[in-house]
Amino acid sequence: MIYRIVVLLTLGILYSCSNVDPNEDPNPLYGTDNRYGSFVQDTIYAQADTVIRANFEHTGLTSKLSLGEFDGLSAGFEIKFNGLPHDSISVDSVFLKFTTLNSFGPNAFDFINGTMYTIIDSFDTDSINTGMRWRDPLNPQYVDEGTSRQVSFNLKDSSETSLDLSMEVFNGWRTGTLENYGLYFHPLEEDVIVELGSFNSSLDPLLVYYTHIEDSVVKDTLYPETDGTIFNYDENGTALLKEADKIFVSSGVISKSFLKFNFDNIPDKAIMYSANIVLTEDDSNPVENPENSTSFFLKPLEEIVSDLDEIEFNPNITFSLTSDAGITDVLGAHKNSLSIDVVQEIRNGSVNSEWFQVDFSSDNDELSIKRFWGVNADKSVSPKMIVKYLNAKK
């Protein structure tokens, strides 16, 4: 024990007094002149992988509304405005205004078409994305098909879209002859997704109307009371199908990947310095949202189960992964912590976390899929953990 403390103190002094960047891997020659041992770099390949799809998530507090279809994935949204003017006030015209945040897909050119419906039943943003009634085929029990009409949204980033709202619908809401349950927007086009600002963003959707007060025309604006996106997927499609030699993570329709490592070959006397999980991206991935493709979380787990809601992990032990030039790996500042707080503790027998969960850092805001090569791929691209440690002398 005294010897181990001396080694750790020596490492700490050398580490703090050197000019080596603590976010980088150590120089194998740096340190102890082999008096206490030697630095070793080793590559540990993942032994197993799997992908588990989550239940649909609550989207009522996200910053985006999505519309479109792409590779078997789809998105529509609901929105409701309250605080309408009294029916005694004369309204000349009314329209909705949306701001485009992002669009992607092979058909992301100028516009995307959808269908706007009035809703004839209440909706709750806590549950609209978990129930099946808003999914394809759309259940006519919940929308008024007689009020449906085609609408188009601009795809250019930061552009605005204005959509006329029927005066019959608007006045029906005001007088109470038509219950105001809000509006539902359903996608019509494939291979394109548009993302719009939601009421939880700085670019809220707006309901704008013009009234006459004496001889003046007055413009007034209402903000949404609530809104939320409904994500869907084709269960017979390939977008969320795990291939034998690949893994993936997805957002919107949430999927998480899991990797299993075995650390038995690390010597018992090893003192960990650095650990880095390296994932090689599959560049043939079609459904990669440029707004959500580079930031991920890594979480050590003791075991995995088929229901993601039942998986337990320590929320205080989460590491960031970032993507660059086709490689996704641990953020530099987290490599030392991963080695000490996880790998070292596993080797010491303090914890039993051989599985690691990989997921998007934001997974309920937008549709996106990121694909990586899995354990059955060639070793040059399969998931691996590169560890560096002091192999202490006995």
* Residue 318's CATH number: 2.60.120
Look at residue 211 and tell me if it is in a domain.
yes
Look at residue 245 and tell me if it is in a domain.
no
Shared domain for 103 and 191, answered yes or no, is yes
Look at residue 247 and tell me if it is in a domain.
no
Shared domain for 76 and 196, answered yes or no, is yes
**Length in residues, the chain:** 394
Shared domain for 217 and 72, answered yes or no, is yes
Domain-terminating residue out of 233, 264, 296: 233
Nearest of 205, 234, 203, 232 to residue 116 by alpha carbon: 205
Shared domain for 339 and 263, answered yes or no, is yes
**Residue 16: per-residue pLDDT:** 38
CB contact at 8 A, 226 and 199? yes
Look at residue 59 and tell me if it is in a domain.
no
Shared domain for 83 and 171, answered yes or no, is yes
- Host domain of residue 302: 2-54+254-392
**Residue 351: per-residue pLDDT:** 79
Shared domain for 278 and 374, answered yes or no, is yes
Look at residue 195 and tell me if it is in a domain.
yes
Distance CA 221, CA 162 (A): 13
Shared domain for 293 and 221, answered yes or no, is no
3-state helix, strand, coil in the chain (%, to 5): 10, 45, 45
Coil/strand/helix, residue 217? strand
Look at residue 312 and tell me if it is in a domain.
yes
Q: How many domains does the chain have?
A: 2
Question: Could you give the count of Cα atoms lying within 13 Å of 260 in the half-sphere of its Cβ?
Answer: 10
Look at residue 248 and tell me if it is in a domain.
no
Q: Quick count: other Cβ atoms within 10 Å of Cβ 257?
A: 25
Shared domain for 124 and 226, answered yes or no, is yes
Domain-terminating residue out of 165, 198, 233: 233
CB contact at 8 A, 336 and 391? no
Shared domain for 121 and 196, answered yes or no, is yes
Q: What is the mean pLDDT of each run of 10 residues along the chain (394 residues)?
A: 44 40 46 66 96 78 91 92 91 96 94 95 77 64 88 96 96 95 93 95 96 82 93 82 95 93 92 96 87 92 82 86 96 95 91 90 89 98 96 74
Question: Could you give the count of Cα atoms lying within 13 Å of 8 in the half-sphere of its Cβ?
Answer: 11
* C-alpha dist (Å) from residue 92 to 95, 117, 175: 11, 22, 16
Coil/strand/helix, residue 333? helix
Shared domain for 69 and 200, answered yes or no, is yes
Shared domain for 161 and 68, answered yes or no, is yes
Shared domain for 106 and 189, answered yes or no, is yes
Q: How far is CA 263 from the centre of its chain?
A: 30
Look at residue 239 and tell me if it is in a domain.
no
CB contact at 8 A, 350 and 236? no
